[in-house]
Structure 1
Amino acid sequence: KLVIIDSIQTMYSEEITSAAGTVSQVREITSRIMRVSKGHQITTIIIGHVTKDGNIAGPRVLEHMVDTVLYLEGERYFSYRILRSVKNRFGSTNEIGMFEMQNEGMIEIKNPSQILISDREDNPPGSVIVASMEGTRPLLIELQALTTPSVFGIPKRAANGIDYNRLTM
């Protein structure tokens, strides 16, 4: 048995006087869903939407109540998605799943390194293949260091796809 609720922020109980999406509503609705799900052994997926900043929309009470929190990450104009666990009471959070959205639905990418370096030319200048760990999964990725001479005293550093603070270390 499986139940999918999309989205918890829109559900409400008439017994609670506050609006849908408030702390009291999310707590009450989630509590009821969990009671029924556990009582009847129903696997339940509660979808909570995220803000543009990547944070769960609305109160954070939902994260504390559930057993697992998963993020489905991806870029708008690309078909690839990463499923990342940020909380898991019954297992590791050091794993990711990589998928591609196709006509049939989301298909697992069995060898993500092959996809991540497939468009690479042979030995382009300023580019190298490096091994990076995502949880316990090693990934081969292309790292580019593109530089130009600067006429300014302090050159500008910019990063795409890597945390700027890590770049400046």
Structure 2
Amino acid sequence: MALSADPNFQKLDQWYRANGSSLSMRAMFDSDPERFEKFSTTLKTDDGDLLLDFSKNLINQEVMEMLLTLAKSRGVEQAREQMFTGEKINFTEVLSFSHCRVQLGSPGSSWTHLGPAGLTWVQLGSPGSSWTHLGPAGLTWVQLGSPGSSWTHLGPAGLTWVHLDSPGSGCLFPNI
């Protein structure tokens, strides 16, 4: 079903048409001193905390509930599970979505340290992919995208700025 045909989207769209022009971020913060606490959460991870702050969006509790209902009706939870298990969810390229597998250190797409020599073996992409690199210890190799990938600009620009802010960091960006 098309997004515009989803009853949950239609409800959200109708709400926005009726109320959207009257939303004011300043007024929402002024009228609710607890807004940040209500619309933000911190995820604790092994790599540090991650703050998710929705308070600076033009939403209220009613809109947040409609957005969550819409996400469920569109299968976002199922797609999330498929993404983390490496199933093929990228229907435009018929590929599995492996970016989170790289970040989470999943077998087949992870950073693996090889013995006392301190060499690092990096394999990115789906299990069975052939792109690999053997580099010296202390070298960070960042490979974004894959041949034919249409998303290769989603990360390189930001990482380029990080690299420019940290000259001599030992980072290589081979496809930027």
Higher helix share: 2
Select the structure with the greater relative contact order (CA < 8 A; seq sep ≥ 6).
1
Whichever structure has more strand as a proportion of its residues is: 1
Same fold (TM over 0.5): no
Q: TM-score, normalised by structure 1?
A: 0.28
